[in-house]
Amino acid sequence: MKLSVIDQAPVPAGFKPADALRNTIELAQLAERLGYERYWIAEHHAIEALASPAPEIMIARLGAETSCIRIGSGGVMLPHYSPMKVAEVFRVLHALYPERVDLGVGRAPGGTPLESYALWRSRGEPPQSDDFGQQLLELLAFLNRSFPASHPFSRIKLSPEMPGGPEVWLLGSSTWSASAAAQLGLPYAFAHFIDPTPTRRAIEHYRSHFKPRNGGPSQPRTILAVGALCADTQEEAERLISSARLFRRRIRRGELGPIPTPEEAIRELGRSIPSQGQSLKLAEAHESDHRNHESSQAEAPEFPRYTVGTPDHVRDRLLDMASALQVDELMVVTIVHGHEERKRSYQLLANAFGLKPR
């Protein structure tokens, strides 16, 4: 089973956002040495706890600081941008780091409605309809040089021009994104750690409705993005995850500050630490892109958002999930206060999965 990393660049209490970005570089280098497949940077806007509003900048830096691990966006929130500009940016990244760049694309806002308004491409009237589908088709046409001859954009020759291009993944946490990925023949990354309720439904729909396209994969390809935290003991893992629990509670209250220490979290939450099967939902107000959020909340998730515990326990639970859903790859997000503890978690997980070090 391939393992990858999705990094939200969490800012620990007592540290600066610049420290979080340096942590990202160090963690990417470690992930490469440990044998992880790819390292993706999330996009969040105007949230103090997550220092990742511009994944394309960090991708460029990570490419220079690593040599072979795949690097990419998890993802670029396309509604905020011009498809041509996104294509140009990722063509530059592809030219710098050939055969290493992933362009993960999503339709979530990555922030509140106010930030979305500030990011609008036009400051006129609010958009009357969701044009993400059209944007995505335009992006693919720019990247694949596939506009019809009659289309005015067919005369645009993007630079830098070179063979190949970034690998495009569609990101989502709903059946809408699953259907779009299937219709367009794109690889699909499902954000289980955002909303675990529609996971099986979305992945099975994607797999059963997949239609190959020219230049794309001949078979459906899936990544399942999950929350996980490993420590040497169950008790230590549960202590560390208390930071994420308090972060979740504060996000719900609109408090967007840094990731608290376990000590602060335990004082505020009390000594009731969640069991190893209890789910956690991180930054939910900033990442959900699905239309059926309200109705899905009434359903019981089949698998938890976060798996917490010793390496063997976490490995077994994640493998059970991957097997049940028949996914090709697991991508792990880990939110804790301590950078060393976060690195340790990824190291323990790599060892438990038997990843081959580079």
Residue type, 239: R
What pLDDT score was predicted for residue 127? 56
DSSP output for 186-224: --EEEETTT--TTHHHHHHHHHHH----TTS-SS--EEE
User: Burial level of 17, CB count in 10 A (0-12/13-18/19+)?
Assistant: middle
Supply the pLDDT for residue 296.
Answer: 42
Q: Which two tokens stand for residue 20?
A: 């979080």
Higher pLDDT, 273 or 65: 65
| pTM flag (> 0.95) | no
14: phi then psi, degrees, rounded to nearest 5: 90, 0
3-state DSSP call for residue 279?
A: coil
Q: What share of the chain is helix, strand, coil (3-state, %, to 5)?
A: 45, 15, 40
pLDDT at 280: 35
**Per-residue model confidence as pLDDT tens digits over 80-108:** 999 999 999 999 999 999 999 999 999 98
Q: What pLDDT shows up at residue 116? A: 81
- List all residues 6 or more positions away from 244 whose beta carbon is below 8 Å from its beta carbon: 227, 229, 259, 280, 282, 306, 335, 336
Write out pLDDT tens, residues 108-130.
877 777 888 888 767 666 555 57
Q: In which residue are the tokens 């706890």 written?
A: 49
Q: Distance between CA atoms of 158 and 126, rounded to whole angstroms?
A: 30
pLDDT at 112: 78
Rounded to whole angstroms, how far apart are CA atoms 162 and 41? 25
Domains by residue range for the chain, with CATH: 2-230+277-353 (3.20.20.30)
- Where is average pLDDT lowest: 69-78, 116-125, 202-211, 346-355? 116-125
Distances (CA, A) of 150 to 39, 87, 137: 39, 21, 16
Mean pLDDT for the stretch of residues 264-277: 69
**What is residue 196's predicted lDDT score, i.e. its pLDDT?**
94
pLDDT, tens only, 211-270: 998 878 999 999 999 999 999 999 999 999 999 999 988 988 888 899 999 999 999 998
The structure tokens listed for 183 are 């219709």
Cβ atoms within 10 Å, residue 13 = 15
Interval 290-342: pLDDT, tens: 334 433 445 678 999 999 999 999 999 999 999 999 999 999 999 999 999 99
Give Cβ neighbours of residue 44 (< 8 Å, ≥ 6 apart).
8, 50, 52, 53, 110, 111, 283, 286, 287
pLDDT tens, residue by residue, 184-194: 999 999 999 99
Tokens of 256: 């967007």
Please tell me the predicted confidence (pLDDT) of residue 129: 56
Q: In 3D, which of 9, 99, 113, 4 has the Cα closest to residue 54?
A: 9
Residue 10 structure tokens: 């969490």
The model's confidence at residue 57, banded by pLDDT at 50, 70 and 90, is very high
What pLDDT sits at residue 277? 39
pLDDT at 126: 57
Q: Rounded to the nearest 5 degrees, what angle is found at the Cα of 27, between the Cα atoms of 5 and 181?
A: 20
For 14-53, the pLDDT digits (tens) are: 999 999 999 999 999 999 999 999 999 999 999 999 999 9
Give residue 283's pLDDT.
Answer: 32
pLDDT tens for 136-192 read: 999 999 999 999 999 999 999 999 998 999 999 999 999 999 999 999 999 999 999
